[in-house]
């Protein structure tokens, strides 16, 4: 059974790779919008095929709570320092003969450790109670796991053996992880401020109070604590800007930025979302290495193909859908809406020379417009996902993100400077930088407090059917295509006015 399951998984990965290859070859014959639709439909079919196999391999009668010993391979590792407990997602590598049907499947585990925190990817032997998450479970978290196609839940566990040792690189990353946490606490005494800056730079939310967690979740702004494209993009731009000051060419800047991001992610502990963002940035900067023009959609599509080939079942994970779905919405709707509004604004202006003050005003308005388009696109794309996976959404999400995203960018930028100073033991300067970061943190808390007074604009909605995200993404693609066509038409009209 174990060998057969492993063979099926390997075969699915090969089929997935061939389908993605076929998608790239077939897409050459289509127009741009046809290429996009063809690509995503093929990836969707691959995900459906894998999930169907995955569900057939699980037997609902495995509804037990008996304590058994498992060998697992953790994908993510998070720690509750006060309780000496680690938790996260893992793949089951070994189980007692009676339970060999669960080998190869994913599991969410919670286990105590003996003082040595395991690393991601370090094989562990745990003694735990395994529970099958059936369809009648009413607990919200178990429903969330089932929506993500994780059907096994291990609780009250304890790590018995570390079956593989940490590498020197893992130990080095662990030492610098402690430095990072210490650097982010320097100069800050308020627990809420420490929780926000630590969460945004390391992804660890254990310092946040339950009230803060509820505020961020209810307003649809909890994404600022998931190390993903937003965080990786801000840090990449920071180092790119720093290397540009050293007069390095675009090609010479690419490799250092890729290497720095790789080290940063391994120090804080890579997660599937952060690695997806990293692969996107990798393809974006890799184009510069080969003297090619970087393209956001090409980097996004290549990253999606690589991650689906690596883990086909991730197509239906909320983390995957939020990572790529919202970026897809920003590319399709946000960029085209921004272009449309710019063309409309240009059409209403007279062709005349502008003063310096008018240029400054134009730059500020342009940045505000771009932030609005990004927040609007991310908000409308995220609503169907929130409805399907959480059963609610906030109509204030778009407006709150307009304030929170720039403030979070400032916190991440200053926190990144603090981490850089902490690596060279300049903790006095870390305290100064953290004091500066406390200003946008105060504004974030103030915004959430104001939102709390009106109930966060939370609306509870029951999802009419599973998989609502797929037609919603198709609708996003259609809206983006319509905005692009309208923008091109207005641009042609503007060009004809210039000729006249």
Domain check: are 85 and 220 in the same one?
no
Residue where a domain stops, chosen among 166, 196, 227: 166
What is the token pair recorded at 196?
A: 């926000």
Q: Is residue 205 part of a domain?
A: no
Mean pLDDT within 130-146: 74
Instruction: Classify residue 2: in a domain, yes or no.
Output: no
In this predicted structure, which of 119-128, 158-167, 299-308 has the lowest mean pLDDT? 299-308
Instruction: Say if strands 106-112 and 152-162 run parallel, antiparallel, or are unpaired.
Output: parallel
Which of these three, 105, 138, 166, is where a domain ends?
166
Which of 422, 156, 159, 91 has the alpha carbon at shortest distance from 268?
Answer: 422
Task: Please give the distance of CA 166 from its chain centroid, rounded to a whole number.
Answer: 26
Q: In 163-259, where do the E strands start and end? A: none
Domain CATH number, residue 82:
2.40.50
3-state helix, strand, coil in the chain (%, to 5): 70, 10, 20
* Structure tokens, 51: 């999930």
Shared domain for 47 and 76, answered yes or no, is no
- The strand pairing partners of 91, in sequence order, are 73, 106
Is residue 42 domain-shared with residue 76, that is, in the same domain? no
Residues 33 and 92 in one domain: no
CA distances from 48 to 34, 107, 171, 192, 386 (A): 21, 20, 39, 42, 21
Higher pLDDT, 245 or 54: 245
Confirm whether 201 is domain-assigned: no
Q: Which of 12-26, 243-257, 341-355 has the lowest mean pLDDT?
A: 12-26
Contact present, 101 and 130 (Cβ < 8 Å): no
With bands split at pLDDT 50, 70 and 90, how would you rate the model's confidence at 140? confident
Cα 484 to Cα 227: distance, rounded to the nearest angstrom? 31
Q: Do 106 and 240 have their domain in common?
A: no
What average pLDDT does this structure show over 300-318? 73
Q: Lowest-confidence range among 65-74, 212-221, 454-463?
A: 454-463
What is d(CA 395, CA 498) in angstroms, rounded to the nearest whole number?
A: 41
Among the candidates 166, 198, 232, a domain finishes at 166
Mean pLDDT score, 263-273: 81
Residue 32 sits in the same domain as residue 97: no
On average, the pLDDT of the chain sits at 76
Are 127 and 71 part of one and the same domain? Answer: yes
Give the 3-state secondary structure of residue 129. Answer: strand
Q: Do 242 and 138 share a structural domain?
A: no
> Do residue 115 and residue 23 come from a single domain?
no
For the chain, the maximum distance between any two Cα atoms, rounded to a whole number of angstroms, is 82
pLDDT tens digits along 66-86? 788 899 988 888 777 667 888
Percent of the chain with pLDDT over 70: 78
- pLDDT confidence bin for 1, thresholds 50/70/90: very low
pLDDT, tens digit, for every residue of 185-217?
Answer: 888 888 888 888 888 888 877 778 888 888 887
Q: What does residue 128 show for φ and ψ, rounded to 5 degrees?
A: -155, 170
Average pLDDT estimate for 462-488: 79
How is residue 481 written in tokens? Answer: 């295509």
Number of domains in the chain: 3
Q: How confident is the model at residue 45 (pLDDT cuts 50, 70, 90)?
A: low
Range of the domain at 417: 212-349+357-499
Q: Roughly what angle, to the nearest 10 degrees, separates helices 397-423 and 191-202? A: 80
Q: How many Å apart are CA 154 and CA 64, to the nearest integer?
A: 11
Q: In this structure, are 238 and 303 located in the same domain?
A: yes
Does any domain span residue 195? no
Regarding pTM above 0.85, the answer is no
pLDDT of residue 346: 57
Answer yes or no: is 5 within a domain. no
Looking at the structure, do residues 130 and 276 belong to the same domain, yes or no? no
The pLDDT value recorded for residue 3 is 36
Three-state DSSP class for residue 408? helix
The per-residue DSSP string of 207-245 comes to TS-HHHHHHHHHTT-GGGGS-SHHHHHHHHHHHHHHHHH
**Together in a domain, 118 and 42:** no
Average pLDDT over residues 293-306: 74
Looking at per-residue pLDDT, the higher value among 213 and 60 belongs to: 213
Q: Would you say residue 449 lies in a domain?
A: yes
Mean pLDDT in residue range 443-458: 82
- For the chain, how many residues are written? 500
206 domain-assigned = no
Is pLDDT above 60 for 368? Answer: yes
b vs e for 121-139, b when ≥16 Cβ sit within 10 Å of the residue's Cβ? ebbbebbbebbbbeeeeee
Average pLDDT over every residue of 387-413: 81
pLDDT band at 374 (very low <50, low <70, confident <90, very high): confident
Whole-number Cα distances in Å, 472 to 45, 232, 478: 16, 26, 10
| Residue 139 clears pLDDT 60, i.e. is over it | yes
The verdict on residue 453 lying in a domain is yes
């Amino acid at each position: 059974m174990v060998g057969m399951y492993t063979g099926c998984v390997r075969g699915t990965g090969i089929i997935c790779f061939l389908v993605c290859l076929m998608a790239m070859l077939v897409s050459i014959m289509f127009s741009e919008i046809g290429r996009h639709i063809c690509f995503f439909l093929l990836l969707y079919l691959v995900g459906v095929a894998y999930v169907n196999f995955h569900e057939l391999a699980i037997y609902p009668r495995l509804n037990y709570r008996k304590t058994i010993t498992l060998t697992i391979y953790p994908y993510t590792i998070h720690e509750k320092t006060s309780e000496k407990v680690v938790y996260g997602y893992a793949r089951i590598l070994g189980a007692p003969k009676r339970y060999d049907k669960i080998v190869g499947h994913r599991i969410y585990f919670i286990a105590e450790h003996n003082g040595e925190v395991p690393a991601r990817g370090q094989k562990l032997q745990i003694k735990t109670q395994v529970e099958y998450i059936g369809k009648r479970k009413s607990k919200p978290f178990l429903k969330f796991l089932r929506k993500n196609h994780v059907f096994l839940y291990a609780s009250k566990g304890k790590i018995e053996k570390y079956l593989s040792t940490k590498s020197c690189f893992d130990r080095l990353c662990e030492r610098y992880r402690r430095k990072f946490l210490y650097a982010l606490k320097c100069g800050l005494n308020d627990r809420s401020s420490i929780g926000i800056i630590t969460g945004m730079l390391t992804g660890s939310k254990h310092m946040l109070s339950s009230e803060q967690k509820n505020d961020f979740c209810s307003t649809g702004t909890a994404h600022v604590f998931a190390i993903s494209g937003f965080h990786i993009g801000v840090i990449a731009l920071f180092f790119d800007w720093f290397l540009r000051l050293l007069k390095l060419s675009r090609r010479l800047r690419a490799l250092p930025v890729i290497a720095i991001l790789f080290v940063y992610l391994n120090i804080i502990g890579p997660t599937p979302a952060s690695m997806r963002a990293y692969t996107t940035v990798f393809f974006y900067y890799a184009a510069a290495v080969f003297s090619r023009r970087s393209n956001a959609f090409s980097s996004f599509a290549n990253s999606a193909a690589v991650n689906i080939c690596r883990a086909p079942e991730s197509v239906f994970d909320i983390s995957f859908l939020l990572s790529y779905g919202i970026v897809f919405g920003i590319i399709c709707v946000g960029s085209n809406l921004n272009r449309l509004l710019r063309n409309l604004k240009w059409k209403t202006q007279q062709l005349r020379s502008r003063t310096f003050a008018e240029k400054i005003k134009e730059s500020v308005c342009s940045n505000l417009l771009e932030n609005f388009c990004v927040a609007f696109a991310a908000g409308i794309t995220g609503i169907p996902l929130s409805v399907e996976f959480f059963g609610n959404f906030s109509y204030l999400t778009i407006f709150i993100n307009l304030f929170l995203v720039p403030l979070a960018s400032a916190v991440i930028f200053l926190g990144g400077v603090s981490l850089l100073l902490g690596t060279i033991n300049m903790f006095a300067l870390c305290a100064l930088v953290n004091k500066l970061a406390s200003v946008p943190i105060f504004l974030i808390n103030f915004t959430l407090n104001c939102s709390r007074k009106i109930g966060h604009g939370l609306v509870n909605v029951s999802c009419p059917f599973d998989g609502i995200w797929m037609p919603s993404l198709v609708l996003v693609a259609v809206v983006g295509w319509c905005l692009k066509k309208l923008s091109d038409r207005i641009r042609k009209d503007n060009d004809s006015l210039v000729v006249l």
